[in-house]
């Protein structure tokens, strides 16, 4: 007789979740999609390390936790607007606290002409049909377990649309705040972002916590750039140090579209970001720049997947990782140049620093080419600070800790040199230095 499987609190806590009424409930197509995704998630459970995409990120401890879903009390929880302010970012703002939209902290009074910026819950209440394609998606892969969970339980998020030809002058800020609550919460947000033909937008995504908590947050974003659109996307993740944050971003680029992404990952106990990009139109371009800095027992996992599908597309990815104490970083960068994507140019570099003998970083660059006349390169390194450089700085009077921090900051900061918002670039550098040991 086979042994009875051990109970999994995380999964058991979802079996009666249909009693939670989400925004948009009552629309048959949406309810059906949510139910099917939830059933698929419960049936498959959390992925384990036998799944290649989760080989270096174990979820056993998360599976033993039980979360409350939804937090109406977030509407009354104290958050100061000044905690959300970022230098060089003074445009429209949409704020969510523990997954709940906060109109009092948002800035939506004077939106630029043509810009649509609304919480998903309002769109679902008034006119959900335009979102039918995005929200009806079924995730088939075991590695997409949290995307299934998000598709089943997300009742809010961001709807952002820029009309064709519009140039939005001021950066748009999306702010996701975690605050303490009774027990551990799970909240789920779904973002739908679309830039029309020839549109331009600066987008700043900010994950922050004002007080320690142990919540689980999932964020799934679908970003579409039509022909000739341009997106500057800066992402600062500084969540509570004991929180869990799982994100999945899908990016689709049309002909001559250009997306530039700058990422700084600092916070969280367990953090995962799956970034999937498809360059679908001729001469589309994607630039990604990222840094993750870990300490204590932090675990941050970045999964980057870029697919070239059209002629003369280009991608350039530069990522840096730093791990100290007993932290664990994971980076996977996969580039596929599909058949017919002739003339593509793809490069990926991941360099990492270990500041402790107990720290670990696993890196896995991948490159597949099925087209002709392609220029492609990828590489990864893991090492320690140059002892000669440390000796030089110490011989000039710098204490060991300061010398180490100075070299580590220089190793990381070069990644943000291409961020055009100078004030935000300086803030990224300051946040990075503050997080270093």
Map tokens 């309002």 to a residue: 122
pLDDT of residue 354: 93
- 266 near 436, Cβ under 8 Å? no
Map tokens 């599976």 to a residue: 63
| CA 249 to each of CA 86, 119, 193, 210: distance values in angstroms, whole numbers, following the listed order | 23, 18, 11, 25
In what side-by-side order are the strands of the sheet with 172-178? Answer: 100-101, 93-97, 172-178, 200-209, 230-238, 258-265, 285-294, 314-323, 345-354, 375-383
Rg (CA), the chain: 22
Which pair of tokens denotes residue 407?
A: 């070299």
pLDDT of residue 2: 41
pLDDT of residue 224: 98
pLDDT of residue 147: 95
pLDDT of residue 388: 79
Q: Which residues contact 345 (CB under 8 A, 6 or more apart)?
A: 312, 313, 314, 315, 374, 375, 376
The C-alpha atoms of residue 289 and residue 286 are separated, in whole angstroms, by 10
Phi and psi (nearest 5°) for 238? -135, 55
The C-alpha atoms of residue 310 and residue 344 are separated, in whole angstroms, by 8
pLDDT of residue 271: 98
Angle at 149 between CA 211 and CA 137, to 5 degrees: 130
Phi and psi (nearest 5°) for 239? -75, 170
Map tokens 């033909």 to a residue: 197
SS3 string, the chain, reads CCCCCCCCHHHHCCCCHHHCCCCCCCCHHHHHHHHHHHHHHHHHCCCCCCCHHHCCCCCHHHHCCCCEECCHHHHCCCCCHHHHCECCECCCEEEEECCEECCCCCECCCCCCCCEEEEHHHHHHHCCHHHHHHHCCCCCCHHHHHHHHHHHHCCEEEEEEECCCCECCCCEEEEEEECCCCCCEEEEEEEEEEECCCCEEEEEEEEEECCCCCCEEEEEEEEEECCCCEEEEEEEEECCCCCEEEEEEEEEECCCCEEEEEEEECCCCEEEEEEEEEECCCCCEEEEEEEEEECCCCEEEEEEEEEECCCCCEEEEEEEEEECCCCEEEEEEEEEECCCCCCCEEEEEEEEEECCCCCEEEEEEEEEECCCCCEEEEEEEEECCCHHHHHHHHHCCCCHHHHHHHHHHHHHHHHHCCCCCHHHHHHHHHHHHHHCC
- 318 near 349, Cβ under 8 Å? yes
Q: What pTM, to 2 d.p., does this model score?
A: 0.93
Provide the residue-wise pLDDT of the chain in tens; the chain has 437 residues: 444 444 568 887 777 665 567 877 888 999 999 999 999 999 999 999 998 999 999 999 999 998 887 777 777 778 888 889 999 999 999 999 999 999 999 999 989 988 999 999 999 988 889 999 999 888 878 889 999 999 999 989 999 999 999 999 999 999 999 998 888 899 999 999 999 999 999 999 999 997 889 999 999 999 999 999 999 999 999 999 999 999 999 999 999 999 999 999 999 999 999 999 999 999 999 999 999 999 999 999 999 999 999 999 999 999 999 999 999 999 999 999 999 999 999 999 999 999 999 999 999 999 999 999 999 998 888 888 777 777 767 777 778 778 878 788 888 888 999 999 999 999 999 999 888 86
Q: Which residues contact 106 (CB under 8 A, 6 or more apart)?
A: 93, 94, 95
The C-alpha atoms of residue 211 and residue 177 are separated, in whole angstroms, by 10
The C-alpha atoms of residue 271 and residue 249 are separated, in whole angstroms, by 14
Map tokens 């900051």 to a residue: 409
Angle at 268 between CA 287 and CA 68, to 5 degrees: 120
| CA 74 to each of CA 220, 236, 268: distance values in angstroms, whole numbers, following the listed order | 21, 22, 20
């Amino acid at each position: 007789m086979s042994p009875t499987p051990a109970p999994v609190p995380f999964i058991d806590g979802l079996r009666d979740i249909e009693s939670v009424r989400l925004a948009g409930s009552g629309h048959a197509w949406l309810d059906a999609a949510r139910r099917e995704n939830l059933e698929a998630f419960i049936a498959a459970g959390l992925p384990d390390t036998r799944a290649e995409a989760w080989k270096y990120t174990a979820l056993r401890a998360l599976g033993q936790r039980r979360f409350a879903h939804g937090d109406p009390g977030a509407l009354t929880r104290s958050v100061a607007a000044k905690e959300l302010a970022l230098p060089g970012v003074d445009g429209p703002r949409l704020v969510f606290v523990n997954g709940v939209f906060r109109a009092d902290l948002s800035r939506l009074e004077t939106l630029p002409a043509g810009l649509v910026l609304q919480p998903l819950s309002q769109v679902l209440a008034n006119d959900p049909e335009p979102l039918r394609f995005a929200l009806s998606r079924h995730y088939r892969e075991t590695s997409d377990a949290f995307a299934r969970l998000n598709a089943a339980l997300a009742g809010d998020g961001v709807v952002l649309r820029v009309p064709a030809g519009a140039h939005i002058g001021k950066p748009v800020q999306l702010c996701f705040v975690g605050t303490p609550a009774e027990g551990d919460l799970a909240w789920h947000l779904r973002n739908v972002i679309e830039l029309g033909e020839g549109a331009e937008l600066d987008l700043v995504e900010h994950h922050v916590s004002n007080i320690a908590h142990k919540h689980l947050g999932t964020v799934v974003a679908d970003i579409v750039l039509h022909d000739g659109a341009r997106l500057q996307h800066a992402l600062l993740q500084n969540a509570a140090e004991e929180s869990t944050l799982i994100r999945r971003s899908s990016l689709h680029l049309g002909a001559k579209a250009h997306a530039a992404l700058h990422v700084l990952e600092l916070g969280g106990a367990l953090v995962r970001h799956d970034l999937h990009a498809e360059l679908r139109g001729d001469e589309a371009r994607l630039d990604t720049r990222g840094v993750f800095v870990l300490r204590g027992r932090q675990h941050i996992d970045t999964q980057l997947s870029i697919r070239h599908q059209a002629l003369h597309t280009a991608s350039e990815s530069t990522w840096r990782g730093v791990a100290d104490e007993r932290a664990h970083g994971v980076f996977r960068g996969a580039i596929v140049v599909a058949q017919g994507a002739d003339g593509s140019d793809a490069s990926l570099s991941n360099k990492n620093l270990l500041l402790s003998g107990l720290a670990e970083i696993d890196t896995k660059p991948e490159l597949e080419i099925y087209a002709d006349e392609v220029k492609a390169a990828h590489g990864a390194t893991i090492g320690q600070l140059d002892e000669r450089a440390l000796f030089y700085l110490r011989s000039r009077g710098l204490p060991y800790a300061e010398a180490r921090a100075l070299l580590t900051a220089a190793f990381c900061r070069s990644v943000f040199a291409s961020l055009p918002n100078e004030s935000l670039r300086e803030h990224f550098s300051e946040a990075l230095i503050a997080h270093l040991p």
